[in-house]
Structure 1
Amino acid sequence: MNRFAIIVALSLCGLQAAHAADTVLDLPEEPAPEVTERPLRTLQITPYMWAAGLEGNISPFQRGPTMHVEKSFSDVMDDLNFGGFVNVWGRYDRFVFSGDVMYVDTSDGHGSGPLPAMQIPGLGVPIPAGANVDAKVDSKQFMATLQGGYRVIDTPQFTLDALGGVRFWHISNDVTVTASHALIGSRSASHGESFGWVDPVVGLRAFVPVTEKLSLQGQADIGGFGAGSDFTWSVLGTANYVVTDRLSVSAGYKVLDVDYDSGGHVYDTRLSGPVLGATWRF
């Protein structure tokens, strides 16, 4: 009887131990921490304002005088008829695309004299040496930089993209000229010309998140190399702040430089100034 009681007691202890073991094994597992992954593809469009000043040398038409131009942003605004700037950025996995487009329409009056003898299209007679020339120039400038590339560094703390592409320029000028000299009196004429070129460019784009909402971005390129212009380069640096999942704002500084001299046309200029933009992400 005692032996039977002992066997029963041991059996009951074994069942309780097995039940306890099952209870431990059946405890729910702790949820794994969520991992936030960046989307495979993204597209963003940034219209922006560029408070650019202008400095350089420009010849508005072939065989015409090359004029030195130096204007602050307020001077540019006084002459501005219309201006628009937009940047487009896209990415699919590690492949990236960058597009930047600028269109500016200005009107400017310029007086020079006395000048060496020259021929101004449309006047019909050569301009004698020592003549005074007044010119009004309506200028339209279109520039588009299109680049594709690859993300060579991709970490949560830093990204770096290598880029290559082309920069298109198209300059259109309508010039009204009045030349005054004792030998010819006062002569006026209007003349329009346009010219353009394409530059190969290579560049880099870097992005550094500072906080969840604040980031820094820099983009630079060089090009030309005598294929279109003698040389061209640009630099853009911005600080960016996320407002919503779809909208962010940015402020920074941009410089665009080009040195073109071909076929009697001269466009050797530098545009520089602060930028302010708003970015929509899709």
Structure 2
Amino acid sequence: MQTCVSSFCRVVFASLGVMLGTTGAVWAADLGQAQAPVVEAPFSMPPSWSFHITPYGWLTALNGTETVRGRTVKVHASFVNIVEKSDTLVGLMGNFEARNGRFALYGDLVWSSIGFARNNVRTRAPAPGVTTTVGRALGLDIQMAIAEIGAAYEVARTGSLAFDLLGGARYWYQEADISFEIDRTVGIADLELVGARALARSGAVDWLDPVIGARVRYAVAPGHELFLRGDIGGFGVGSDSSWQAIGGYGFELGTYQGIVFSGVIGYRALSVDYAQGEGRQRYEFDMLQHGPVLGLSARF
């Protein structure tokens, strides 16, 4: 009897062991599934900022008119003409752009000191109320700064072609001196006499133009890009009108310590028509500046 009971107990416990083992495995499997972390697709992070710094030279020619204290001269000078006369042609020129995805901030600065020889300026009729008391123009000197800031947004992209809209402001600062031969000794009290010359000095003149525009960028190949930009401004807020057109080609030269260097060549034209004052206080700058652009860009 005892032997039978012992045999029965062994069968029961063996069965329970099998059941418990199987159930434990199921529980363990269920528990493992419950504790398994849920893996979600990571959020797409916005692209980081990239920065472009481009010192450049603008080989400028000027065509138009300059009026200082009611005396007007017509200007027609090539880059070579200006270099021959100017002691300091270029002080500082540079462009900056910071881009994050579709959005970009940009800035541009031009400072120059330009001189024009006698054969590049011609005396024009003076402003109303100004008596002609000086002879032909002997020269024109202009110190000028142009600073531009703004933002750009990429509104469309098709393959290698991207289209940006731009908006910002362009600040102008000028000081101009025109020198004349003295024809008469009356009516020149507002001018400064230096030897046999009469100088018309403008003093500091500045204004601010709102600017809107667009830019097209085309990736020819990796590291090679064509670009074309145009804008208009002024609208009577600062100048009566202003426009600019820039076309160029950028090409990578190499990478050094994580900085990508590129060459930039192109052509830039900038026109403005600004005037203030009347009579002997008249100042006017109606000028087209244009010429090749050469630069070296660093991206990081």
What TM-score range do you get, normalising by the shorter chain?
Answer: 0.7 to 0.9
The amino acid that maps onto 2:75 is V
Contact 1:117 1:127 survives alignment (8 Å): no
Equivalent residues of 2:229, 2:246 under 8 A apart: yes
Aligned to 1:72: 78
Q: Does 1:140 align with 2:143?
A: yes
Instruction: Quote how far apart the aligned CAs of 1:118 are.
Output: 8.9
Indicate which of 247, 255, 264 corresponds to 2:269.
255
In structure 1, what is the equivalent of residue 294 of structure 2? 276
Structure 1 residue 181, shift from structure 2 partner: 3.2
The answer to whether 1:62 aligns with 2:56 is no
Give the counterpart letter for 1:211 in structure 2.
A
SS in 2 for 1:78: helix
C-alpha separation between the residues in 2 aligned to 1:58 and 1:182? 24
Once the 2 structures are TM-superposed, how far is the Cα of residue 175 of structure 1 from its aligned partner? 4.5
> Is 1:157 paired with 2:167?
no
Is 2:45 the counterpart of 1:45? no
Q: Which has the higher helix share?
A: 2
Contact 1:112 1:132 in 2 (8 A): no
Matched, 1:168 2:171: yes
Aligned length: 236
**Residue identity matched to 2:247:** G
Structure 2 letter corresponding to 1:44: H
How far apart are the structure 2 equivalents of 1:49 and 1:95? 27
Partner amino acid for 2:170?
Answer: R
Return closer, same or farther for 1:38/1:71 CA change in 2, 3 Å cut-off.
farther
RMSD of equivalent CA atoms: 2.9
2:224 aligns with 214
1:235 aligned to 2:258? Answer: no
Q: TM-score, normalised by structure 2?
A: 0.70
Deviations 1:181-219 (A, max 9, x none): 3879x8645553121111100011221111123221111
Q: Secondary structure at the match of 2:56?
A: strand
Task: Give runs of aligned pairs for residues 81-92 of structure 1, distance below 5 A.
Answer: 81-83=88-90, 84-92=92-100
Q: Distance in 1 between matches of 2:127 and 2:207?
A: 29
Query: Which of residues 84, 89, 96 is equivalent to 2:104?
Result: 96
Question: Which one has the largest radius of gyration?
Answer: 2
Aligned partners of 1:116, 1:163: CA distance in 2, in Å? 39
Change (3 A) 1:276 1:44: same
What residue in structure 2 maps to residue 267 of structure 1?
A: 285
Aligned mates of 2:60, 2:79 — CA distance in 1: 5
Shift of residue 116 of structure 1?
Answer: 7.0
Gaps of 5+ in 2: 1-44, 188-194
Query: Contact 1:109–1:134 at 8 Å: present in 2 too?
Result: no
Contact 2:74 2:122 in 1 (8 A): no
**How far apart in 1 are the matches of 2:183 and 2:261?**
57
Q: Quick check: 1:118–1:127 contact (8 Å CA) kept in 2?
A: no
Q: Secondary structure at the match of 2:84?
A: helix
Contact 1:200 1:227 in 2 (8 A): yes
Label 1:72 to 1:212 Cα distance change in 2 as closer, same or farther (>3 A).
same
